[in-house]
Amino acid sequence: MLSRRTLTKLALATPLAALTIRYAAAQVGTSSGTAPVAPETRSLDELHKVALAEGGNLIVYGGGDLPNGAAGMEAAFMKRFHGMKIRILIDRSKYQGVRIDNQLSLDRLQCDAVHILAGHYYDRWKAGNHLLPYKPAGWEEVYPDFRDPDATSVAVAVYAFSTLINTNQLSRADAPRDAIDFLNPKLRGKIALTYPQDDDSILYQFDRIVTQHGWEFVDKLMSQDVLWNRGSGVTRQRIEKGERSASFTTSGPLVPNPNQPTAFLLPTTDSFLSWAHPAAIFRRARNPEAAKLYLSWLLSPEIQGARRQWSVRRDMPAPEGLEPIIAYNSYPVHFRDFLRDRGRLEQFRDQLEQYIGPMQGTNPTNVVGIFPEG
C-alpha cells in the first residue's frame, strides 16, 4: 500500500500535460445541470452607467493581513469609475468566511462581493445557493480550471509565495532557493516566517516540505532562531525593513520595485505555492451591478495585462522574463484540493504547532466583529 508521502510526491510530479487535460475537461458543460449563463457583453463604461444608476456603492470583503491592505485598489477603482464609492474590507480569509456565514444566517449580509483565499467557503456558499452565477467580461479567456463551471466564482488574480530576500543583506548568489537551503547555519537569526497554523497557505507550504523532507526539517528549522509573525504581509515588511534577510512564506513583486531592497526568487528544484484567488457575488448583494462592474474590471486587460503579476487569463502575457503560471511546477489546483480536506489539514496543523508552539500576537488587520462596517 502506498504511503501518504509517496502519494503526495506522485501528485506533485503531475506533468503539465495532465494539468492541461484537467483544464480542457473543465470546459465541458456545467456540474449542476443548471441553465448556462451567458458571458458579460457590456463594456466597462456601460456597466459603470448601470452601477451608478443602482446607487454607485460597493462593499467587498477581501482576504489579506495588513490594515486597509486594498487602499490602492479602492483608489484605482474610484479613479477609473467616477462617482463610484467602494470599500474593500481586508481581513484574514478564515475570519472573513466565518463573518459572512454569520451574516447570511442572520439575513444581514454586509458585502456584495468577496475575494478570499479560503476556497472551501465558496463550495459551501455555492451548495447553499448563496452565490450569483455571473461570467464577467473576459470569462472565456480565464484558464478553465480557475473558474467554476456553473459561474458562481472566478479567479481574479494569481498569488505566489517563494523566497524573498533583502538584497542589502543577502546577494542573489547566496540566497536560499529551496526549502533545504533555509537550514544553512549561515542563515541562523536571519529568517522571518509566517505562523503556518494561522494561515492555510503557509500550512500548505509546510505540508509539501514535510512530505518531501520529513519532520526532521521542521525540527532543524526550529534551531535557526526564526522570527515568527502573524501574517505574510507582516513577514514581508520585516524583510523590507531589514529586520531579517530571507523568508519563504510571503509574496514579493515579480517585477522588482526599485524603491524596495528586495528580490522575489523562484526555487531551483522545489515546487512553490501559487493559487488562483477566487471572487464571487452574492445573490443577496445590495449592489449586484456594481459587483459585476468590479469583477469585470478585475478581469479586464487593464488589470490583467499590466504584467506586474501572473494573469488568470490565457491571452495576457506573463511579466517580462517569466512564463505563464501553468508552465511552472506549482499547480495552483493542488492548493485548492488541500483546502477542501479540512480533517487532514487540521490534523497537520495541530502536529506542526507541537514543534513551533502557540502563536504570539494579535490579528494584524485589527478588524473585529460580525459587522465591522457598521
Query: What mean pLDDT comes out for the span 347-373?
Result: 94
Question: Is residue 44 a part of any domain in this protein?
Answer: yes
d(CA 292, CA 141): 17
Confidence band, pLDDT 50/70/90 cuts, at residue 374: low
Question: Is residue 110 a part of any domain in this protein?
Answer: yes
Question: Is residue 217 a part of any domain in this protein?
Answer: no
Query: What mean pLDDT comes out for the span 232-251?
Result: 96
Residue 68 has pLDDT above 70, yes or no: yes
Residue 247 has pLDDT above 60, yes or no: yes
Residue 258 has pLDDT above 90, yes or no: no
Question: Is residue 344 a part of any domain in this protein?
Answer: no
pLDDT digits (tens, 9 = 90+) for 340-353: 999 999 999 999 99
Average pLDDT, the chain: 90
DSSP structural state of residue 131: B
Task: Please give the residue range of the domain that contains residue 121.
Answer: 36-158+275-324
Q: How many domains does the chain have?
A: 1
Question: Is residue 56 a part of any domain in this protein?
Answer: yes
DSSP states of 181-246: GGG-GGGTT-BEEE-GGG-HHHHHHHHHHHHHH-HHHHHHHGGG--EEESSHHHHHHHHHHTSSSE
pLDDT of residue 310: 95
Residue 283 has pLDDT above 70, yes or no: yes
CB distance 158 to 311 below 8 Å: yes
Residue 194 has pLDDT above 70, yes or no: yes
Question: Is residue 131 a part of any domain in this protein?
Answer: yes
* Angle of CA points 116, 44, 278, to nearest 5°: 15
pLDDT digits (tens, 9 = 90+) for 32-58: 456 789 999 999 999 999 999 999 999
Residue 240 has pLDDT above 60, yes or no: yes
The percent of residues in the chain predicted with pLDDT above 70, rounded, is: 91
Q: Taking the CA atoms of 276, 251, 115 and 56 in sequence, report the sign of the dihedral they define.
A: negative
Question: Is residue 281 a part of any domain in this protein?
Answer: yes
* Cα separation of the two ends of the chain: 55
Q: Which residue has the cell 531592497?
A: 261
**Which domain CATH number covers 59?**
3.40.190.10
Question: Is residue 12 a part of any domain in this protein?
Answer: no
pTM equals 0.89
pLDDT digits (tens, 9 = 90+) for 107-145: 999 999 999 999 999 999 999 999 999 999 999 999 999
Confidence band, pLDDT 50/70/90 cuts, at residue 3: very low
